[in-house]
Amino acid sequence: MEPAVTTRWIPDAVEQTREFDDFDAIVRLYWPRVFRFALASLRDRDAAESVAQDCFHKAYRARERFRGDSSLSTWLMQIAVNLVHDCHRNRRLCFWNRTRAAAPEFDLISKSLVQGGASPETALLAKERIAAVWAAVAKLSDRQRTVFLLRFVEELDLLEIAAVTGLREGTVKVHLFRALEAVRKRMGENQ
Amino acid sequence: MNEHLSPEEISLWFAGGRTAELERHAAGCAECGARLGRMDSALAEFRESARSWSEAQSETARRIVWNRPVSHMARRWVLVAASLVILASGPAYWRTRQQARAAEMAHADALLQQVDAEISRAVPQTMEPLVSLVTWGSGPSEESQEKELP
Ligand SMILES: [Zn+2]
């Protein structure tokens, strides 16, 4: 009962071309993923936009060094992960992040669940579960959070996460296990 | 395996550590199936929340102003081009400057001449019409006037 892997939104053809000629097209294609990962990690829109912008600037400057050892998506996510880690490491810069940390719009989420046919009670329970997961994620270590978001939001498999983070697959699994333990406990799933 | 999945085994399941033994038990145990289902739903809902939140927040980011950084080569070319423009426009600049200076000098000369003329005037320019009425040249000739003198 692993989470179903939905269709990847990045077309394989584009993934394979690895063309840097039309870098603007690359930005348009990958910006949502990079921005989403940064937003979920930092919970601040301005910081997430800044990370996304920096990510593509770095990629553009280093585009000649990209050899295609990994996919373009993996390469961009490596840069994004490092930028997010830099941001977390720089406590002074991140102070405002933590104080201004935004929360996902849970009301919007429960409304969309009700519109999707769920009863208000079901939507309320779902909203509480989602809030519990976000609360648990906020308390994770940087590495655990990164691995958790890459697995359960970006739906990367363990090997892809290893490639993005530079960790060994076994280490990824350990971080993921600890993150899941924290989430499960927060949800009250202790039996 | 007859025992239910432990809480840690539930986490292990989602961390990529599901074994054939765990799968066998989950397939035949409604209770463990439900526990795994709740965790799976929570993770799917979390994913959806992250995605919809990101989409809502990126409304402004959709109007991405992607400023392509200027490469070192491009920067070098810009500098070279700017230098060439300066060099090429140098003589023209000096020519224009000389022409402007000549025009200035001519203007200054004209002014000086005008000042000279003003200074050398016996009568202020404003009084010239009055003077012309009584000027010797405009009336009867000096010669005839002299003749009338006793
Ligand atoms: Zn069981």
Q: A68 alpha carbon to ligand 1 midpoint, in Å?
A: 46
Which chain B residue is nearest to residue A154, measuring alpha carbons?
B47
Residues B56 and B77 in one domain: no
Q: How far apart, in whole angstroms, are the C-alpha atoms of residue A72 and residue A23?
A: 12
Residues B26 and B38 in one domain: yes
Residues B5 and B59 in one domain: yes
Are A187 and B42 inside 8 Å of each other by CB?
yes
Cβ–Cβ < 8 Å for A26, A52: no
Paired tokens of B50:
């992250």
Q: Which residues in chain A are closer than 8 Å to B69, comparing Cβ atoms? A: 57, 60-61
Q: Which residues in chain A are closer than 8 Å to B64, comparing Cβ atoms? A: 27-28, 31
Q: What domains sit in chain A, N to C, each tagged with a CATH number?
A: 10-101 (1.10.1740.10)
Q: How far apart, in whole angstroms, are the C-alpha atoms of residue A12 and residue A110?
A: 33
Residues B48 and B82 in one domain: no
Residues B46 and B94 in one domain: no
Q: Which of B98, B37, B39 is nearest to A152 (CA)?
A: B39
CA B23 to chain centre: 63
Query: Does residue B25 lie within any of the structural domains?
Result: yes
Query: Does residue B145 lie within any of the structural domains?
Result: no
Q: What is the model's pLDDT at position B89? A: 73
Q: Which of A75, A101, A76 is nearest to A88 (CA)?
A: A101
Residues B6 and B62 in one domain: yes
Residues B44 and B3 in one domain: yes
DSSP type of residue A157: -
Q: What is the model's pLDDT at position B121? A: 53
Torsion of CA B92, B94, B96, B97, to 10 degrees: 160
Torsion of CA A113, A101, A142, A2, to 10 degrees: 0
Domain that holds residue B96: 70-121
| pLDDT digit string (tens) for chain B, length 150 residues | 679 999 999 999 999 999 999 999 999 999 999 999 999 999 999 999 999 899 888 875 555 556 666 666 666 777 777 777 777 776 776 777 778 777 877 777 777 677 666 555 554 455 445 444 444 333 344 444 434 433
The model scores a pTM over 0.90: no
Are B11 and A181 inside 8 Å of each other by CB?
yes
Residues B90 and B112 in one domain: yes
CA A53 to chain centre: 16
Query: Does residue B12 lie within any of the structural domains?
Result: yes
Q: Which residues in chain A are closer than 8 Å to B10, comparing Cβ atoms? A: 184, 189
Determine the residue among B35, B49, B55, B63 to mutate to test chain A binding: the one whose Cβ has the most chain A Cβ atoms within 10 Å.
B49
Which chain B residue is nearest to residue A62, measuring alpha carbons?
B71
Residues B23 and B4 in one domain: yes
Count of domains in chain B? 2
Query: Does residue B1 lie within any of the structural domains?
Result: yes
Buried b (16+ CB within 10 A) or exposed e, A72-102: bbebbbbbbbbbbeebbeeeeebeebeeeeb
Q: Which residues in chain A are closer than 8 Å to B40, comparing Cβ atoms? A: 1-3
